[in-house]
Structure formats: C-alpha cells, structure tokens
Chain A
C-alpha cells in the first residue's frame, strides 16, 4: 500500500539557519503530494502542495519539489524563524479515482531557537 516516510525529529535549528525535512513516498502512479504544518495547540494547515512530477509548491518561504525519479518531496526553507517552530507532516493522495484519503508521514517536530 501507499506510504510516506519523513525524517524523524525533533529538529532544532538556530534562527536564520537553512531547513531541510526529507520526505519520500511509495505509491503507484502519480499521487498528489502535500506538506501540512501544525502549530502548538492547533489543527493542521496546508502549507504547500504539488500534483505532478517536477511541480514546485511554495508558500511562506517554504518550497518542495515533486521528484518522481527519487519519489521524494523534501521541504526546504532558506532562513527559518522562531515562528516556524511547529510539527510538519508530509502526505500523499493517491492518483486513482474514488480515493480521497490522505496518507501521512509521522511528522517532524521543528524547534527554532533565537
């Protein structure tokens, strides 16, 4: 079945450091790929998405590129801020018709210190 593997946390970075959170997936066809973010005490928010190979999703300085050849969707940000401290989830939605469920990774907790 479909699966998502993301790097284990927690990840601790200093403010203005470069961030990479690795995400790889296993799925048939061409799934849609997502990054969600969960701030403390809140639900998940969609951060960015990509629906086909080589698409780049971007939002709030975060980027991720859909790499079909490496089945990856790594999240990057050039300069993190304290306000980016949160849990980040990589997810996929299968390409087959009629399936609307998301498969999530286990989440990566990011802490950014001043």
Chain B
C-alpha cells in the first residue's frame, strides 16, 4: 500500500491569504507531482519534481509554487489565494523505472471565499 500523505484534507480560506498544502511520502520515491482536479474530474499536471532541488511547471499554468528540499516532502504554496484557486489538489509520487506507476495521496479540497 502506498504511503503518501496530504494535509489538510479540507481547507476553507479567505481571499488574499497565503496557504501551503503539504505532501509527504515515505516510499523514498525521487519523483513527485502536483495535479489540479477540476469539478469535471479532469486532471491537470501543475508541478513536478524529479529530485531534490529540481522542480518544473506542468502543462497547466498555475500561480502556485513548489519546493523540494527533502526527498520525502513536496509542499505547494499559494502566496495570495483567490476564488479561482478553488479546486481539488492531488499529490503523487513515483520511483524510477519502466512502469512509471504513480501513487496518489488522498487530496486537499481547497475553497477560497
């Protein structure tokens, strides 16, 4: 069973606040990802990291930022939350190798009022 954790699970916050969504994994995976899931369920890759001190933007432009200082930790930060940031955020990780299986956390549902 995959061990990847996200906190908080639910967050309701006012416009303009700074927020950090936490993601940690205990599997020693070098690759980690952040997805945004819209109400229609479609998944959009917004950030990924292939190792410590390596981060890249994904296919969907996002105002969020990420950092990867430790292998197991991949937090996502919004400096000033807006209602357009309301969404479900999913974190995932994978090891290197042919199968590229990604393991997902339970998600954080963010609502910005």
Contact = CB atoms under 8 A, between A and B. Distances in A.
Contacts of A45: 104
B42 A100 contact: no
Contacts of A34: 101
B41 A100 contact: no
Interface stretch (B12-20, B43-51, B69-77): B43-51
Interface residues of A, number: 21
A49 B101 CA distance: 9
Contact of A109 (B6, B41, B98, B104): B41
Query: In this complex, which of A89, A93, A102 has the most chain B Cβ atoms within 10 angstroms of its Cβ?
Result: A102
B41 to A, nearest CB: 4
A43 B107 contact: yes
Contacts of B99: 32, 49, 51, 93
B100 A93 contact: yes
A46 interface: yes
Given A43-B90, A44-B104, A107-B41, A100 B98 contact: no
B94 interface: yes
Contacts of A102: 100, 102
Interface of A: 32, 34, 36, 38, 42-46, 49, 51, 87, 89, 93, 100-102, 104, 106-107, 109
27 contacts: A32-B99, A36-B104, A38-B41, A42-B106, A42-B107, A43-B104, A43-B105, A43-B106, A43-B107, A46-B101, A49-B101, A51-B98, A87-B41, A93-B99, A93-B100, A100-B48, A100-B50, A101-B48, A101-B58, A102-B100, A102-B102, A104-B42, A104-B43, A106-B40, A106-B42, A107-B40, A107-B43
